[in-house]
Homo-oligomer: A and B are copies of this chain.
Amino acid sequence: MSTTISPLAPTQVPDMPAIAGIRLATAEAGIRYKNRTDVLLALFDPGTTAAGVFTRSKCPSAPVEWCRAILKSGKARALVVNSGNANAFTGKSGRAATRLTAEIAAKAAGCKPSEVFLASTGVIGEPLDATKFAPVMQGLTERARAGDFLAAARAIMTTDTFPKAATATARIGKARVTLCGIAKGAGMIAPDMATMLSFIFTDAAISAPALQTMLKEGVADTFNAVTIDGDTSTSDTLMMFATGQAADCPRIARAADPRLKAFKKALGQVLANLSEQVARDGEGARKLVEITVEGAVSKASARRIAMSIANSPLVKTAIAGEDANWGRVVMAVGKAGEPADRDKLAIWFGGIRVAHKGERDPAYDEAKVSDVMKKPEIFLKVALGLGKGRDRVLTCDLTKDYVAINGDYRS
């Protein structure tokens, strides 16, 4: 865990309200880190519904497989998250560790193991010693109480430099419901239907299938539009839990219910906020980079081109060097494999057009563009001039610190 907070960290820590029906506790189980919390327990009152999206990796972690299997019921009573060990590529012992963890938590929480969701983040390939959860679990259930989402966010950090939390409220009918979300990110971030670890909690009364639909829709332009290094984790997990305990909240069964309009918007805000925080805390990041591609033949094509730019080491190192090297943006557009016409291409850095109709903008002023590149937030726009496809992704720069952090992560 880094000791220096990212210069891109939000300046204000959000005021996170409690969610009726959810209690939280954290503990030091000594999984890998010393002198810091590394286990989070969330307890849900009976009636809580659950939804989740997970990594598309062909080599998913044991907890991801566990969650996928028990999610069919749509019901949740507990969530156990640990940092320091991903329990990924751990074979039979990994499966046994998930079962044991769920059993320990179920016993302490008074529920069934199949109602306990699990997530692990940290080193891949090290066996996870689940017996370490036993001594702390009873204390966790006893101490669990409403509220401290920032402590929860802190317990799931790995190379993150700040805890990530966001909140929003919405009306459903006459009820006022609250959403609270936490996330961890940092490296190995190129989510594909999910991100590293993120959990959204709400007191709304929404069926599991409706939650699932909204989560899947919500993630497409938030977490799935963020990349740190193009590396998709084995452990990506985004889950949402709804207790239904908001006063007077009508029970909503279908995602298409018009009463969910404000809730969907609030969910979108929380997801966008958390995923932007993940980009702001990319390993070694010194610049937040927003890449907009417009005029593509479709939104999907715009996404692939934006991701090709966002994942290009040459674009990312140029931004780290505060160099408006738009030639590398041309390269990344060209290698994306998507329809593009060099002679229609235009490129902007921070609102300044640097390239136009396939060549350097006649009004190009290196000094002005250099000023833009010195800022902590870089807005890069590419117009293809082919169609109406538009998309936006977030990333960060590639610095020597990224190399340093990842060259000695295990040592």
Binding site for B on A (CB under 8 A): 55-60, 86, 88-94, 123-127, 187-188, 190, 192, 229-234, 311-314, 317-318, 320-321, 323, 325-328, 330-343, 345, 355, 357-360, 398-400, 402-404, 406-411
Contact = CB atoms under 8 A, between A and B. Distances in A.
A338 to B, nearest CB: 7
A90 B188 CA distance: 36
Contacts of A231: 312-314, 328, 331-332, 335
Copies of the chain in the assembly = 2
A402 B321 CA distance: 12
Which 4 pairs across A and B sit closest by C-beta, in order of nearness? A124-B327, A321-B407, A91-B359, A59-B334
Given A94-B359, A127-B359, A321-B408, 9 more contacts: A58-B336, A58-B337, A58-B338, A91-B358, A190-B335, A231-B314, A234-B331, A317-B402, A318-B410
Given A230-B313, A231-B312, A334 B60 contact: yes
Contact of A318 (B57, B90, B230, B409): B409
A359 B318 contact: no
A170 B16 CA distance: 75
Contacts of A333: 58-59
A316 to B, nearest CB: 9
A323 B410 contact: yes
A370 to B, nearest CB: 9
Contacts of A58: 333-342
Contacts of A326: 125
Residue of A325, A333, A399, A403 most packed against chain B (CB within 10 A):
A403
A121 to B, nearest CB: 12
Nearest to A55: B334
Contact of A406 (B59, B89, B125, B313): B313
A407 B323 CA distance: 7
Nearest to A125: B327
Q: Which of A56, A338, A359, A399 has the most CB of B within 10 A?
A: A359
Contact of A89 (B60, B125, B335, B355): B355
B355 A313 contact: no
A127 B318 CA distance: 20
